[in-house]
Chains A and B, each alone.
Chain A
Amino acid sequence: MEVNVTINGVATTHEIEPRVLLVDYIRTRAGLTGTHIGCDTTSCGACTVLLDGKPVKSCTVLAMQADGRQVTTVEGLKSNGTLHPIQAAFKEEHGLQCGFCTPGMMIVGAALIDENQAPSDDDVRWAISGNICRCTGYMNIVKAIQAAAASNAGATA
């Protein structure tokens, strides 16, 4: 079947089997490898992308379910050559080590700070509780998301 998915503002069209997962579509059809696969059970969140602005685990969405819809991946966070506040904050606050969970974490973080300009420690921890990180112990991820929220709030105030 043919599906049409707009990824990071760019229209893509591919002929696929109905069973193809959105994460595989993004990685192997659209060639955007920043979205990662870390488990088989929707547990780890490394594959998180925005589907029409909401975070979803793209290993548990069929590509055909994204037909006609908008997907944002880590590659689409930057705009006009400027890092998204969440990207800048992950680097500044040392919110990543191996980098494998980072795209999913940043996507969830970006969605959170869109809704909540000053998330508490618990707000952030609850928001990212579907994303596993094996390196950082989460403290600096929480700091990074809060710092991004603060910088976002500062920018829009």
Chain B
Amino acid sequence: MTTTAPTTPPEIGGIGHSVRRHEDARFIEGQGNYLDDITLPGMLHMAILRAPVAHARINSIDASAATALEGVIAVVTGDLMAQHGLAWMPTLSGDTQAVLVTDKVRYQGQEVAAVIATDPYIATDALELIEVDYDILPPITTPQQALEPGAPLIRDEKEGQTDNRVYTWEAGDKAATDAAFARADRVVSLETHYPRSHPSPLETCGIIADVNSVTGQATIHLTSQAPHAHRTLFAMVAGLPEQDLRIISPDLGGGFGNKVPIYPGYVVATAASLLLQHPVKWVESRSENLISTGFARDYYMKGELAVTNEGKILALRVDMLSDQGAFYADAQPTKFRAGLFHVVTGSYDYPVAHVSCSGAYTNKAPGGVAYRCSFRITEASFLIERLVQTAAYELGIDPADFRFKNFIQPEQFPYHSPTGFVYDSGDYPTALRMALDEIGYEDLRAEQKRAREEGRLIGIGIAHFTEAVGAGPSHTYDIAGLKMFDSAELRVHPTGKAILKLGVKSQGQGHETTFAQIVAEELGIPVTDVKVMEGDTDNTPYGLGTYASRSTPVAGAATAMVSRKLAEKAKIIAAHLLEAAPADIELHNGEFSVSGSPDHTVTIQAVALAAYTNCPDGMEYGFESVHYYDPPNLTYPYGSYVVVVEVDADTGVWKVQRMVALDDCGVRINPMIVEGQIHGGLTEGFAMSSMQWITFDDDGNCIGSNFMDYLVPTAWETPKYELLSTAVPSPHHPIGAKGVGESATVGSPAAFVNAVVDALAHLGVRNIDMPVLPDRVWAAIEAAKA
């Protein structure tokens, strides 16, 4: 069960082969086609003027000098957008967000005006010529401040909004949970902040809007992880007829959730193109990306475990306050106000839990995107894994043993969690045991003890995470009302070569290879003969896009199902060619044979030709189909991560000595790509644990507005990883896959932080908030000494 052995030969390259990526051919020669690489005839360039302050009323905007600059075509302000009913737009969470400010600035970096010019340098020059008269208002920079009585109202334009509260939401059974806490031997608690982070894909966000009133065609080139959803939302927001609206999401230089929302710049560029009848390009600078587009996390969490003295968990209670920024713009299903945070019960078996959540508006950028996580699962996994380690210390039980005592057991699946999830499959004890054995856990604990006697600080951190990914099912999951299914259209040409069209959109995950492998597996068409196409809404079937690790669970399933539909048709054609009954036809590695006479065969290529030239009587010509897949449940990938760190007590600097990461993502379609995803995810987890941090000063100035202040790890800081796997297939997915894109980002932060805290646990240290910066470690050591 540790690997998925291929059943197809390498020349077919089905599931389990580490097929080298098809898309690499263009990337290694500089022939990728990213948004900023596209130039259209007559294209103009847009730059955005952003607010220098966090909270201020705008008295006036004087754009006369900017407008007079040679090369400037237009200056767009909120007033102009308001004339077209576009000064505000809906967010993905049902709130509203200003496109360009008409009343007051609500965060530093907010869009105030835009310049359209013939050249990007001129557009940027013109920004400096726009005079804005601001009346500065007191800023609110924490959600705690925001909810204090009498706090200035940030969303004063919203009817019925009398305070800065965004939402309250709860899950689980409060009465039963409180009763369990009343019975418990011990209550262990942990308060921690999962800080604001930013996905910062290396390519920033951008658009080229090309609206032509004569042809009626609006073509929007967009850095979009969800082009179909964006087409529908654009049509609704801008009032454009959807049949004339084409979104083209070209090669994406990473996404990680940052390219899911619709940003004000997109709306302004589209409006400008409509008004000026020229294509308008806008590409964010890195600073614009970091200060204004989809942040992630920013959850203040308190978790409590009710436990017995023997170390059995009885119940979990969680209270969470989220900092939403000025507009509630989380990308998340409508019915859940804090994403899937209520999966916080984790990998452990106890009957009751209660999770209460609330959110507050602050004078910060909006977002709340699922940064390499399935809707707030990163925060949930971090809290429970930090909390169980705390409980283990308080009870004097080894953190690994504490987990073994409380794991959901393999025979309990499908497991109904106390907050309403149905975990599909897993074997948690085996996973953790393998990871501990690999790292040599017992020996490390002995070494830790010796090191402490010598005054050295070694820590061993464990995290065992369970993810819930691959949304739908559509009855529960949607984005802005659009149901979360996905689709695949497969067309096999007469020569047996195929084109697969999907509603999802790769940002580097290798879809052009992985999904071709599913077709190769199902139909036996060599993987090199399958072209995968995504991103162009005129030429791909509808789908909700790529985020929340949903491409393989949903579009991957659709690909298997559409291949099976074609296999059924192929069997009828093969029966016709072989003069046998369809029921007797078997398909193996691209060859159809008659049951009992294996030498009597016809290839999938011959069948494809026959589908266009020699169909059985009464059969429709052609060899193509489409499948819309609505998953019956989420999938539940999991993993056991173990990290060893050494902490320098004098400086607080910590270094990762080893990291073993075991992931179970079910069947691995392309093991090489899966491992690459895990490497990347672990690095993002390390980044958030150690350095990545979008923070603000008391005036609401964003600290972290560039790559010198917002630290992302380079190769020099990044640890090396040792990967392990198990493969418990998802029981409800057609090929048993579960999705893996986000697992490592979800699971690893707790492992890194647990390791640093473990190094200091004997001193009484129980928590250091992320990012675990050396000064925070040093301060924790000093405080423990005092």
Given A100-B203, A136-B680, are A90 and B707 neighbors across the interface (CB < 8 Å)?
no
Contacting residues, chain A, for B26 (C-beta < 8 A): 99
Name the interface residues of A100-127: CB closer than 8 Å to any CB of B: 100-103, 106, 121, 124-126
Q: Does A97 contact B (CB under 8 A)?
A: yes
Residue pair B706, A43 in contact (C-beta under 8 Å): yes
Interface membership of chain A positions 9-30, coded 1 if the CB is closer than 8 angstroms to chain B and 0 otherwise? 0000000010110000001100
Is B582 on the interface with A (CB-CB < 8 A)? no
Considering only residues 122-141 of chain A, those with a C-beta below 8 Å from chain B are 124-126, 128-141
The answer to whether B683 and A137 have CB atoms under 8 Å apart is: yes
- The residue from B202, B287, B708, B712 contacting A100, defined by CB atoms under 8 A apart: B202
* Stretch of A50-58, A61-69, A71-79, A149-157 at the chain-chain interface: A71-79
CB-based contact B676/A126 at 8 Å: no
On whether the beta carbons of A91 and B20 are closer than 8 Å, the reply is yes
What class of interface size applies to chain A in its complex with B?
Answer: 35 or more
Give CA–CA (A124, B253) in the complex, Å: 23
Assess the A38–B672 pair: CB atoms within 8 A: no
**Cα-based distance from A137 to B676 in the complex (angstroms):** 8
Name B678-710 residues within 8 Å CB distance of A: 679-684, 706-708
> In the bound complex, do residue A126 and residue B28 qualify as a contact, i.e. CB atoms below 8 Å apart?
no
Interface residues of B in 1-50 (CB under 8 A from A): 20-21, 23-32, 34, 36-37, 39
Minimum C-beta distance from A32 to chain B (A): 7
A125 vs B26: C-alpha distance when bound (angstroms): 25
Looking at chain A's contact residues, is the secondary structure mostly helix, strand, loop, or mixed?
Answer: loop
- Check if B28 sits within 8 Å of A83, measured CB to CB: yes
- Given A98-B202, A131-B714, A132-B707: A34 touches B683 (CB 8 Å cut-off): no
Cβ of B732 within 8 Å of any chain A Cβ, yes or no, is: no
| Alpha-carbon separation in the docked complex, A30 to B39 (Å) | 13
Assess A94 versus B712: contact at CB under 8 Å? Given A40-B286, A134-B200, A137-B680: no
Task: Please determine whether B254 and A100 come into contact, CB atoms closer than 8 angstroms.
Answer: yes
Q: Are A43 and B30 in contact (CB under 8 A)?
A: no
A134-B714 contact given A35-B30, A94-B21, A100-B34, CB 8 Å threshold: no
Q: Do A98 and B679 have beta carbons less than 8 Å apart?
A: no
Rounded to whole angstroms, the CA-CA distance of A142 and B718 in the bound complex is 12
A46, A97, A142: most-surrounded residue (chain B CB, <10 A): A97
Question: Which of B29, B714, B716 is within 8 Å of A75, CB to CB?
Answer: B29
A34-B286 in contact (CB<8A) = no
Which among B199, B201, B673 is the interface contact of A98 at CB below 8 angstroms?
A: B201
Q: Contact residue range for chain B? A: 35 or more
Is B615 close to A, CB under 8 A? no
A5 CB–B CB distance under 8 Å: no
- Docked Cα-Cα span, A102 to B203, in Å, equals 12
Q: Please tell me if the beta carbons of B23 and A135 are within 8 angstroms of each other in the complex.
A: no
Are A132's CB and B714's CB within 8 A? yes
Bound CA–CA A136/B288 (angstroms) = 24
Give the chain B neighbours of A43 by CB distance below 8 A: 706-708
Looking at B76-84, B355-363, B502-510, the stretch in contact with chain A turns out to be B502-510
User: Which residue, of A102, A132, A138, has the highest number of chain B Cβ atoms within 10 A?
Assistant: A138
B286 touches A96 (CB 8 A): no
Tell yes or no: B450 within 8 A of A by CB.
no
* Nearest opposing residue in chain B for A33, CB measure: B37
With A41-B707, A94-B21 as given contacts, are A99 and B32 in contact (CB-CB < 8 Å)? yes
B254 pairs with A125, CB closer than 8 A: no
**Looking across the interface, which residue of chain A has its beta carbon closest to that of B506?**
A98
Docked-complex contact B721 and A139, CB < 8 angstroms: yes
The answer to whether B714 and A128 have CB atoms under 8 Å apart is: yes
- CB of B496, distance to nearest CB on chain A (Å): 26
Known contacts A34-B32, A100-B254, A139-B721, A41 near B680 by CB under 8 Å: no
The reply to whether A98 and B203 form a contact with Cβ atoms under 8 Å apart is yes
The reply to whether B20 and A138 form a contact with Cβ atoms under 8 Å apart is no
Contact between A130 and B20, CB atoms less than 8 A apart: no
Find B254's partner among A28, A128, A134 (CB 8 Å cutoff). Answer: A134
Q: Closest B residue to A145 by CB, please name it.
A: B715
- Complex contact B676–A140 (CB within 8 A): yes
The answer to whether B707 and A125 touch across the interface, beta carbons within 8 angstroms, is no
Which of B21, B287, B715 touches A40 (beta carbons < 8 Å)? Answer: B287
- A97-B508, A140-B676 known; 9 new pairs, CB 8 Å cut-off, are A90-B24, A91-B24, A94-B672, A94-B675, A97-B510, A99-B32, A128-B714, A128-B715, A135-B676
Give 4 closest A-B pairs by Cβ, nearest first.
A34-B30, A98-B508, A100-B253, A99-B27
A-B contact pairs, 9 of them (CB 8 A): A28-B39, A94-B20, A94-B21, A94-B675, A99-B251, A99-B508, A125-B715, A131-B715, A134-B202
